[in-house]
């Protein structure tokens, strides 16, 4: 988990992280998080994980791997 989230979130369980702000992810700045919120209404890691755009991108990637 240490490489996935910022230090202050490392002790949280995956379930707890789903409710954490998207800026808790390593490499996601507050400005990035604000842009995701404004563009797509994404506020938490859970929102990002369940986003229809992320789901679509993952599906396209999986299909491309099998071409």
Residue 31: per-residue pLDDT: 98
43 touches 22 (CB < 8 A): yes
- Summarised one tens digit per residue, pLDDT across range 54-65 is 999 999 999 999
Instruction: Report yes or no on 27 lying in a domain.
Output: yes
What is the domain count for the chain? 1
Q: Look up the domain containing 36 and give its range.
A: 7-65
Q: Is the pLDDT of residue 1 over 90?
A: no
Q: For residue 21, name the pLDDT band (cuts at 50, 70, 90).
A: very high
Instruction: Report yes or no on 55 lying in a domain.
Output: yes
Total number of residues shown for the chain? 67
Q: Is the pLDDT of residue 2 over 80?
A: no
Identify the residue whose tokens are 């563009």: 39
């Amino acid at each position: 988990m240490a490489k996935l989230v910022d230090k202050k979130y490392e002790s949280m369980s995956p379930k707890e992280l789903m409710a954490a702000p998207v800026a808790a992810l390593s490499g996601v700045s507050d400005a990035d998080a604000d842009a995701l919120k404004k563009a797509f209404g994404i506020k938490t890691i859970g929102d990002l994980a369940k986003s229809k755009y992320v789901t679509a991108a993952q599906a396209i990637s999986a299909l491309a791997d099998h071409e």
